[in-house]
Chain A
Amino acid sequence: MSDPILTVSGLGKRFGGFVALADIELQVERGERLGLIGPNGSGKSTLVNCLCGTLRNETGSVAFDGRKLDGLPAYRRIRLGMARSFQLPRPFASLTLAENLRVPILYATGGQGRGMAVERRCESLLEMVSLAEKAQKLPGDLTQIEMRKLELARAMASEPRLLIADEAMAGLSPGEVDDILALLIRLNEQGVTIIMIEHIMRAVLAFSQRLVVLVAGRKIADGDPQDVVRQPDVVEAYLGS
């Protein structure tokens, strides 16, 4: 097997006296679909923020595609091919949908392709998430699921090799969850490695080839999804002992 696309070793993060993450070890293979679960406050989003450079981890290191990322600001990591979507959609509110996608196309993809090429790329991304007819609308006019799709399209606009989808389905109806799920699987088939952070177990189990569980800032399980969810300490973390 080739080198892992993402290697996290000994990663730790504290906020004052509170240990948010401790000794996280994680490897993600190329093309893999990884699920990351854990109760609220277990450090999932903190881990994403440390991976993407929004937060600085105090200990340990992150390597992407064999390259150490430590100390690199968030925008440089995106340019290397690591994109994220936010748990709560954070669109650029004063820009149209097409312009929202234009920002990462102009800034994250090495600036190649100008003018019409950028235009076409915006269109095809919006088509991918079936928002093409709303290209000239503002994000304020979108429904919740459309907002999620825009968030994913914007993450994809940077042409990432690794996509971290942070609760892309929270608050959606079952039908909408299937929509997003199908979209993520389609992206994965195109070769994008995906880490999915999610509370909706049905979606996580349907999606993941491997499941990692965080509890109170520590990794307590890592393996085949069906095995992991039967592991006693995982059950305990979710249901209590």
Chain B
Amino acid sequence: MRNWTFVSVLIVVAFATFFGTRLVGNSYAFFAGYVVLQYIVLATAWNILGGYTGYVNFGTAAFFALGAYSTVVLHKTVPELPLPLMIAVGGIVSGAVGIGTGYLTLRLRGTFFSIATLAMAVVMQTLVTNWSFVGGARGVYVIRPDESPIFDGDYIEYLFLVMLALSVIAVAVARAIEHSRLGYGFAAIRDDELAAEASGVPTLRLKLIATALSGGFMGMAGAPLPYYVTYLDPSSGFSLTYAVNTIAMPLIGGTSMWLGPVLGAVLLGTLQQAATVTISSALSLLIVGVLLVVFVIAAPKGIIGWFRR
């Protein structure tokens, strides 16, 4: 399928999702759906670096929270800025941090890179915890507007729609990369970096592009968070849960193509939301754990892997 056909189909699906959720007639559906969509963006972003390029990032929470905190800063300085612009800023900030971390850590391979990203998350959290302008350790309140600015409805519907648009963009970009020159370069790096370099692939530059894209989308996913939660503190923004979920979703869905993270996010995200309401919120992490174990044993290549070869 051509890229533009694919994007049109995505947009149709997105609108169907939005109006379908409206039909439910309960604003909780939007609250729950927002989280699932947010994970589609996060998992897709993670997969650009982790699945396509082969670098496992444990620092999702840092990129995500940086996006959220950049919105906090903008909310306090230029509160009239529309949300999409705040998201763009969040993406740029996290993308830039992605390039920076990439430049410092991409000489490290495998586990060492992963540990470095985890350390980066701890450093970022410590910095934000000690920055009183954004609330420091005690956190910050962000008042959510009542009404959606562009259509007649609750603000949560607007947040949902924004996140929906973001997932369409993220998925479209991920799919476009797959069979592009960039995608083949990423795959070559994942399989054998030395051979990639010997085939003319500028490995460092491509890895920086991957971290920038991946980090940028994570930041964009985090940017609307302050308006969603209305109270943000470092320990919830930088929560390890984001990192764990974001790794688990592509692994469960399959890392080899764009559909994997989407499937994983929809499956795991929905299960977690359902468990949170019906049983207990603590159970949602247990679900991740159990599912991961099941998939590692039964389907190491994820759901996609079942249907291929």
Contacts and interface: CB of A to CB of B under 8 A. Distances in A.
B126 interface: no
Contacts of A157: 199
A158 B199 CA distance: 7
Contacts of B197: 54, 73-75, 78
Contacts of B203: 75
Interface of B is mostly: helix
Given A73-B202, A158-B199, A106 B181 contact: yes
Interface in A73-91: 73-75, 78-79, 83-84, 86, 90-91
> What interface size band does chain A fall in?
20 to 34
Nearest to A94: B191
Interface in B185-212: 185, 187-188, 190-192, 194-204
Contact of A107 (B192, B194, B199): B199
A75 B201 contact: yes
Contacts of B194: 54, 86, 90
B184 interface: yes
Given A75-B203, A92-B191, A94-B190, A103 B184 contact: yes
B195 A75 contact: no
Contacts of B201: 75, 103, 107
A103 B196 contact: yes
B199 A95 contact: no
Contacts of A102: 184
B246 to A, nearest CB: 22
Contacts of A95: 184, 187-188, 191
A34 B202 CA distance: 29
A54, A74, A95 — most chain B CB neighbours (10 Å): A74
Contacts of A73: 197, 202, 204
Given A94-B191, A95-B187, A86 B198 contact: yes
A227 to B, nearest CB: 33
A86 B195 contact: yes
Nearest to A80: B200
Contacts of B192: 90-93
Contacts of B200: 75, 78-79, 103-104, 107-109, 158
A154 interface: yes
Contacts of B184: 95, 99, 102-103, 106-107
Interface string A83-127: 110100011111100010011101111010000000000000000
A15 B185 CA distance: 31
A97 B1 CA distance: 23
Interface in A40-76: 52, 54, 73-75
A133 to B, nearest CB: 19
B123 to A, nearest CB: 29
Contacts of B181: 106-107, 111
A103 B192 CA distance: 12
B165 to A, nearest CB: 31
A78 B187 CA distance: 19
Interface string B230-274: 000000000000000000000000001000000000000000000
A84 B199 CA distance: 9
B70 to A, nearest CB: 34
Nearest to A110: B200
B198 A94 contact: no
Given A99-B184, A111-B181, A104 B199 contact: yes
A97 B47 CA distance: 24
Interface in A3-53: 52
Nearest to A95: B187
A79 B191 CA distance: 21
A74 to B, nearest CB: 4
A121 to B, nearest CB: 14
B198 A52 contact: yes
B50 to A, nearest CB: 14
A148 B203 CA distance: 24
A158 B200 CA distance: 8
Nearest to B191: A92
B187, B192, B200, B203 — most chain A CB neighbours (10 Å): B200
A82 B99 CA distance: 30
Contact of B185 (A52, A107, A109, A158): A107
Contact of A108 (B190, B191, B199): B199
30 contacts: A54-B197, A74-B197, A75-B202, A75-B203, A78-B197, A78-B198, A78-B200, A79-B200, A83-B198, A86-B195, A86-B198, A90-B195, A91-B192, A92-B191, A92-B192, A92-B195, A92-B196, A94-B190, A94-B191, A95-B184, A95-B187, A99-B184, A102-B184, A104-B200, A106-B184, A107-B184, A107-B185, A107-B200, A109-B200, A157-B199
Complex A-B, nearest 4 residue pairs according to Cβ-Cβ distance, in ascending order: A108-B200, A107-B200, A92-B191, A104-B199
Given A78-B200, A86-B194, A90-B195, 4 more contacts: A74-B197, A75-B199, A92-B195, A103-B199
